[in-house]
Amino acid sequence: MTISRRGLIHRIGRVGGVAAAYRTMAAMGLLAVPAAYAGPPVLAPGGGRRVVILGAGIAGMVAARELGKAGYRCTILEARGRAGGRNWSVRGGDTVEEVGGSQAVGWDVAPHLYFNPGPGRIPAHHQGLLSYCRELGVAVEVMSNDNRSAWLHDDKGFAGRPQRARRVIADQRGYVAELAAKAVDQASMDGPVTEADRGRLRAMLRSFGALDRDMTYKGSERGGYSVVPGVEAGVVSAPLDLRALLAADFWQYKTQFSEGWQMAPTMMQPVGGMGRIGEAFGRSLEGVITYHAELTALRRVGEGARVEWRDTRTGAVSAVEAERVICTIPLPVLRGIAADFSAETKAAMAAVEYVPAGKIAFQAERRFWELDEQIYGGISWTTRDITQIWYPSAGLQEAKGILVGAYIWSDKEGEAFAGKSPGQRAVDALADGAAVHAGYGASLGRAVSVAWPNIPFSRGGWAEWSREARRSHYKVLQAGDGPFLFAGEHMSYVTGWQEGAVLSAHAAVAKVGG
């Protein structure tokens, strides 16, 4: 058996498509890692064949766009009056509809005064999404995700006094390096490091942790100053007590969060709000998307499908038939629609949990976090229910801003948030935030909150596959069910990110026209 690498890749490409060839090349080490984005699949000409797509979120619109390029005739049925789905920016004059009530958004109108109830970040390696931003002319800008000036707050740590992330992170790092240096000194040290490497290892640890000459951590400029240097020399802050650091919950995730694949810099956002992407997709698919079309039934008809829907404004009922239907509806909604799915498909759909995420945003009359605390963008963390406070990376140093006063994704807290009235959410979020910022509520008002379990046609934040559900059910949905193919962030290993929606749509259209 001899086969050249090129030959192998060519064969895989013919059988499995571009994506498979690409993955093979990556696995063979023939691509730089993390590798260049492979691009959407190359499709056979559609010749005007009809494909019905359910949902004008990112997945549905990517599918329509790619199939459209290849000559398919697509129809997207969208229950809302707008494109984007969870890709959404709320602005002054908008209305937020939840099951059980609506909120009028009474904010001032300005380009930087927006709130992303859904996704708010684009990592650099999400090249699927970023390539559509390029195609659609949606400008992106750097956003601050990890901000070392932001606060870490634990009600039970440091007597409940918030600590600057800068200081906690620097001191944690210093103590870890000091500990590691002790191990280097142990004669019994095993592992791959030999005596000859120890000098270099010690020097590395000293640099890593900003250790003193004696290899102990005594604080460093990384942690900040108690007297900031100016025309006189500064005084470095004393290190936080190690035992106090260990007692607070900061290290359990928060001090590491920005090291992660999805979270590390460079992080980006569309200029003017995440919703700019959905809006641009929507404009590019004018005539393809039918809005206000609430699905009522998904039927099999011969080899194809019939999709039934009603107009949410008029109540008029319609139906459309097609050989293939790409279904991007979030599973909590899809589960409630009468559908001729197999028992296996229904079991798979039932096996996926959704995160009960929620956010609240306030209009701030004064950007106190910038003016008083030197916080520009990024996130503060607290053990309170609000979990996070997000400072806008847009409109830095403007007079006003939209502050995200809670971002909740834990089950218990998320469900509690969804169970409250918008007014109660605001009261509670202001109380929680006051533990992080003195005088927090003084310049905040006009709250707008979104509890995703209550949002019609979404009914959840994003999919969470248990290991067991992945093993037993993912392949079932991936294979599709007769004429029905499934896409959306839930149909990926990048759940909770728009990139998952993009890549799942590529996989679906490859099945239609690959």
Q: Count the site residues for its own copies by CB under 8 A.
A: 109
Report the C-alpha gap between 481 and 477 in whole angstroms.
Answer: 7
Instruction: Tell me whether residue 238 or residue 319 sits nearer to its own copies (CB atom).
Output: 238
Instruction: Tell me whether residue 64 or residue 165 sits nearer to its own copies (CB atom).
Output: 165
Residues 195-234 that bind its own copies (CB under 8 A): 197, 200-201, 203-205, 207-210, 221-222, 224-234
Residues 469-508 that bind its own copies (CB under 8 A): 478, 491-494, 500, 503-504, 506-507
Q: How far is the CB of 172 from its own copies (least distance, A)?
A: 7
Residue 69: how many other CB atoms lie within 10 Å: 12
Angle formed by the axes of helices 498-513 and 58-69, to 10°?
A: 40
Is residue 167 within 8 A of residue 293, CB to CB? The reply is no
Report the C-alpha gap between 56 and 113 in whole angstroms.
Answer: 25
Q: How far is the CB of 155 from its own copies (least distance, A)?
A: 18
Instruction: Tell me whether residue 96 or residue 210 sits nearer to its own copies (CB atom).
Output: 210
Q: How far is the CB of 374 from its own copies (least distance, A)?
A: 5
Which residues are CB-contacts of 282 (< 8 A; sequence separation ≥ 6)?
A: 56, 61, 82, 83, 84, 289
Instruction: Tell me whether residue 146 or residue 353 sits nearer to its own copies (CB atom).
Output: 146
DSSP string, 376-408: -SSEEEESSTT-EEE--SSSTT-S-EEEEEEEE
Nearest to 496 by CA among 90, 118, 96: 118
Instruction: Tell me whether residue 243 or residue 313 sits nearer to its own copies (CB atom).
Output: 243
Which residues are CB-contacts of 479 (< 8 A; sequence separation ≥ 6)?
A: none
Instruction: Tell me whether residue 396 or residue 427 sits nearer to its own copies (CB atom).
Output: 396
Residues 8-67 that bind its own copies (CB under 8 A): 19, 23, 26-27, 29, 32-37
Q: How far is the CB of 149 from its own copies (least distance, A)?
A: 5
Q: What SS3 class is residue 140?
A: strand
Using CB under 8 A as the criterion, what x/- string covers residues 182-201 for binding its own copies? xxx-x--x-xxx---x--xx
Instruction: Tell me whether residue 117 or residue 378 sits nearer to its own copies (CB atom).
Output: 378
> Which member of 142, 316, 338, 479 binds its own copies (CB under 8 A)?
142
Write the CA distances from 505 to 64, 394, 493, integer angstroms: 9, 30, 13
Q: How far is the CB of 68 from its own copies (least distance, A)?
A: 21
Largest CA distance in the chain: 83
Report the C-alpha gap between 45 and 66 in whole angstroms.
Answer: 11
Report the C-alpha gap between 312 and 81 in whole angstroms.
Answer: 9
Nearest to 384 by CA among 201, 67, 153: 153
Q: How far is the CB of 73 from its own copies (least distance, A)?
A: 25
198-207 in b/e form (b: 16+ CB < 10 A) is eeebbeebbe
Residues 148-187 that bind its own copies (CB under 8 A): 148-149, 164, 166, 169-170, 172-173, 176-184, 186
Q: How far is the CB of 281 from its own copies (least distance, A)?
A: 16
Q: What angle do CA 139, 126, 67 make, to 5 degrees?
A: 85
Q: How far is the CB of 81 from its own copies (least distance, A)?
A: 29
Instruction: Tell me whether residue 184 or residue 297 sits nearer to its own copies (CB atom).
Output: 184
Instruction: Tell me whether residue 210 or residue 386 sits nearer to its own copies (CB atom).
Output: 210
Residues 284-343 that bind its own copies (CB under 8 A): none
> Which member of 108, 146, 294, 353 binds its own copies (CB under 8 A)?
146
Residues 254-283 that bind its own copies (CB under 8 A): 255-256, 259-261, 264-266, 268
Report the C-alpha gap between 264 and 124 in whole angstroms.
Answer: 9
Q: How far is the CB of 106 from its own copies (least distance, A)?
A: 26
Instruction: Tell me whether residue 284 or residue 449 sits nearer to its own copies (CB atom).
Output: 284
Q: How far is the CB of 457 from its own copies (least distance, A)?
A: 23
Instruction: Tell me whether residue 95 or residue 374 sits nearer to its own copies (CB atom).
Output: 374
Peptide bond into 34 cis (omega under 30): yes
Q: What is the number of alpha carbons within 13 Å of residue 335 lying toward its C-beta?
A: 15
- Chain-centre distance of CA 159, in angstroms? 32
Report the C-alpha gap between 477 and 350 in whole angstroms.
Answer: 11
Instruction: Tell me whether residue 28 or residue 316 sits nearer to its own copies (CB atom).
Output: 28
Residues 354-373 that bind its own copies (CB under 8 A): 372-373
Residues 96-135 that bind its own copies (CB under 8 A): 124-125, 127, 130, 133-134
Report the C-alpha gap between 237 and 43 in whole angstroms.
Answer: 60
The answer to whether 465 contacts its own copies (rule: CB under 8 A) is no
The answer to whether 411 contacts its own copies (rule: CB under 8 A) is no
